[in-house]
Chains A and B, each alone.
Chain A
């Protein structure tokens, strides 16, 4: 009874313009006809358009994603499920993923960002995990662009309102301002959850005749074609896409979280999948396909928010806070009781079948009847042509002008949009709810205690887009290495990453070249650092009128701290401690913040990363932390050595007396160069020789920088810089920017 005979496609076929509007090109339409063996109905065209969209099918990126390492002894679940899973020992596991919500956030920043957070949390609790920490990575346009303030304000309050209401702490992230994001901001949200390793829920609906259950919010017309929108570039008419942005309700999601976790204790769920991009269509197709069964949906049974919706609209709606589950037969009453308790909709809307088809009926008419492989596996896979850019020349330190005063330059850098405090942002996020936050935002990584234990999870989001734009391969390497470094700086053992690959239009060879380069760089770093990718998301077409964003492969990493009593942070701890630099100095100023702020240019090659040295230096640092040899640790990144020292001084509310940089390099290259694979540590004077001795075994250079003390930053030959002045410069920029105008 699910045969094609029941279905009534347009006898003349669908108009060409309609097909094109669905983002399906002529070649893809031929493929569709071949898969289906007939003309599609309009509903089926809609289903194909979302399932074959770039967003759902990864058709441009799939061949390259295979280059990323995804395995390791710690990996329980790699890419392919709602989120990745790594073991934390003691029978526990971390479930995590990062996802983009770029296109909707530009059009409607508050709802776009809020639903991005809601979506990523659903991915995590769908797998049975309680979310325990959120992070986000945000890229905005130039502060002088007229829309930037509005976008920052909307995105931050959208993220805050959603995560705060859910009661999940947002413990860090990163924010960049760069004119190349003026017309395409990036909002990447990451969620980490905790689960018992033997109670992980997956999405394969194995078994025929099983009830398919819909829970959560009712279905409305919001978000129709969201996935298709996210698979096209913007132009002047983008504002008109506002109706394709979903609307979030964090209160309902909080109820959904609690109801799902309560039901998961009952041993009745066979498969569960959240309704994210492409809603009911994508969730039911994925569950049936992974289970090797067919699925029959009766759309008349779907809880509806508004009247008169068509099958097409119901299948493509991206209304939020909904889940689809396949239950053990007979367990419906148990599930219904729990969902009613939490005042959520519950409806059995279909069953699994042995037909291998996706079938949707509405008002007694079969509106779609499609073989599942056509939707799940027959999506086109493109090996798009790519062109890698020529590497840029290395810039000699002397080719970047020295400042009149090193300390005034420091003050200017820390007061710039690039390096100023993000307090205005993170104070709008509840970063302490759940009462397990042991390292708050503003440090190298956020750290949460694993509830009820003495262990901790360190989490960090990283990428340096200006490096990636200059050299995608080195930039991809650096993103992974910096994340690994930030986790290491807390004493954590880095476990694995999730990624969010944000790029322009892949149909342009130079963009595809950036993508390929970044993946190759990331893969090399992941391999050498034993830091596999367990989940992720690709966001392409981040461009407007043919101008693309800088390649932005954001990396979100998770590391394990065996004993939080031994955790390190960057705050200077005690007068008289000695400040040391570990790592080699080359004074690399190409693509540096110094060059950008002082000379208003970004030229040359980014600093290279030597991954072998990275690993050795990180292992050394972790050893020092564990042994209690060091009192404070901070990695050197944006802005260079002096910026790192200043951040440690501000965090510890203590000054430093620095010695002159005596290397054979210009002073500004020493203090502001962005050479990679370096950490600043402090130690009591009696530990300095041990540090030097052990480091020499690892072949890591050590230089004494100065001493902790006082309330100024002091450099020979310059007027001391009071910490109060530096703090004012550091803290003032963002609040002043946000209240101006």
Chain B
């Protein structure tokens, strides 16, 4: 399997994602500079977390117009799996690959903590190693993570089974109390129509090793490797 990680000015989880991919793949991913227009052969494209362009204008807005993004959009539309984590999710919505927008958290504050997620779907290259409705613990770290979309879009996402993860309680129930940022319908991550583009606010790359106090994130990378190798 070959993977590319796009590095924007201000990306800061690119190395963490590379470590997670390398430990799952056994080989290092390509680190691709945002200013490039060529993308190496890739079975997976990953847009990492961080603060591309300092979140100036709107989170992800300027990165979505980087030269490399034209190629990322082209490959995504041709079916190459794309994973956007945190700022990467924001870039994917700004680039039009995923619907909706990530707004300022309801608390107006940055929030860094572990949250519980209900896995809504397991028939994708990203989630094959989770079990249906499994509750997993993955950290969030963001100020602009409140997912918002109009009622028609939310309805569509629900009907097309495109919700990837929801913030939930320990027993998997989806409650307001479990929603850390005010996201519509507790949405923590969504897929495109074909289930090949995933955007999510939580950081699976941060919990892949028991010394990090959890390993629930590792299954996403092992799932990708098994599907795409």
Contact = CB atoms under 8 A, between A and B. Distances in A.
Given A164-B110, A167-B50, A342 B205 contact: no
A454 to B, nearest CB: 9
Interface stretch (B10-18, B89-97, B167-175): B10-18
A219 to B, nearest CB: 19
B113 interface: yes
A426 B206 CA distance: 17
Interface string A436-475: 0110100000000100000000000000000000000000
B111 A250 contact: no
Interface stretch (B51-59, B65-73, B128-136, B186-194): B51-59
A433 interface: yes
A573 interface: no
25 contacts: A157-B109, A164-B110, A164-B141, A165-B10, A167-B50, A167-B51, A250-B54, A251-B10, A251-B51, A251-B54, A251-B55, A254-B12, A341-B35, A426-B112, A427-B110, A429-B112, A431-B112, A432-B203, A433-B12, A433-B16, A433-B49, A433-B206, A434-B16, A438-B211, A565-B211
Nearest to B205: A435
Contacts of A342: 9
A565 B209 CA distance: 12
Contact of A165 (B54, B109, B208): B54
Interface string B113-142: 100000000000000000000000001010
A163 to B, nearest CB: 10
A251 B16 CA distance: 19
Contact of B12 (A157, A166, A449): A166
B61 interface: no
B10 A160 contact: no
A78 to B, nearest CB: 31
A33 B35 CA distance: 55
Contacts of A431: 112
A430 B110 contact: yes
A627 B54 CA distance: 47
Please give me the 10 A-B residue pairs with the lowest Cβ-Cβ distance, nearest first: A167-B12, A251-B54, A435-B16, A165-B51, A430-B141, A430-B112, A428-B110, A438-B211, A432-B206, A435-B206
B149 interface: no
B56 to A, nearest CB: 7
A15 to B, nearest CB: 44
- Interface size range on A against B: 20 to 34
Interface string A225-265: 00000000000000000000000011110110000000000
B112 A427 contact: yes
Contacts of A161: 110, 143
Interface in A156-173: 157, 160-161, 164-167
B212 interface: yes
B31 interface: no
Given A164-B51, A254-B51, A564-B211, A343 B112 contact: no
Interface of A: 157, 160-161, 164-167, 249-252, 254-255, 341-343, 426-435, 437-438, 440, 449, 564-565
A341 B208 CA distance: 33
Contacts of B206: 432-433, 435
A268 to B, nearest CB: 22
B212 A427 contact: no
Select the residue from A252, A430, A431 with max chain B CB neighbours within 10 A: A430
B112 A428 contact: yes
Interface string B186-229: 00000000000000000101101001110000000000000000
Contact of B112 (A249, A254, A255, A432): A432
Contacts of A430: 110, 112, 141
Interface string B1-38: 00000000110110110011000000000000001000
A427 B203 CA distance: 15
Interface in B35-85: 35, 49-51, 53-56
Contact of A432 (B19, B141, B211): B141
Contacts of A251: 9-10, 51, 53-56
Contacts of A343: 9
A433 B9 CA distance: 16
A121 to B, nearest CB: 13
A435 B218 CA distance: 13
A432 B209 CA distance: 13
Contacts of A254: 9-10, 12, 51, 54
Nearest to A130: B15
A321 B212 CA distance: 32
B81 to A, nearest CB: 22
Select the residue from B20, B112, B143 with max chain A CB neighbours within 10 A: B112
A6 B32 CA distance: 53
A557 to B, nearest CB: 22
Nearest to B50: A167
Nearest to A168: B12
A250 B110 CA distance: 15
Given A433-B13, A435-B20, 12 more contacts: A157-B109, A160-B110, A167-B51, A251-B9, A251-B55, A254-B12, A428-B109, A428-B110, A429-B110, A433-B206, A435-B206, A564-B211
Contacts of A437: 212
A247 to B, nearest CB: 13
Nearest to A166: B12
Contacts of B141: 164, 430, 432-433
Nearest to A249: B54
Contact of A434 (B15, B139, B143): B15
Contacts of B16: 433-435
Nearest to A153: B109
B95 to A, nearest CB: 20
Select the residue from A252, A427, A428 with max chain B CB neighbours within 10 A: A427
Contacts of A434: 15-16
A565 B205 CA distance: 21
Contacts of B55: 165, 251
B105 to A, nearest CB: 10
B221 to A, nearest CB: 12
Contacts of B20: 435
A238 B212 CA distance: 45
A315 B112 CA distance: 40
Given A251-B56, A432-B206, A438 B12 contact: no
Interface in B149-190: none
Nearest to A436: B212
Contacts of B143: 161, 164
Contacts of B9: 251, 254-255, 342-343
A565 B211 CA distance: 8
Nearest to A343: B9
A449 B19 CA distance: 14
Nearest to A424: B109
B13 A167 contact: yes
B51 A427 contact: no
Contacts of B19: 435
A164 B139 CA distance: 14
A427 B10 contact: no
Nearest to A257: B12
A391 to B, nearest CB: 44
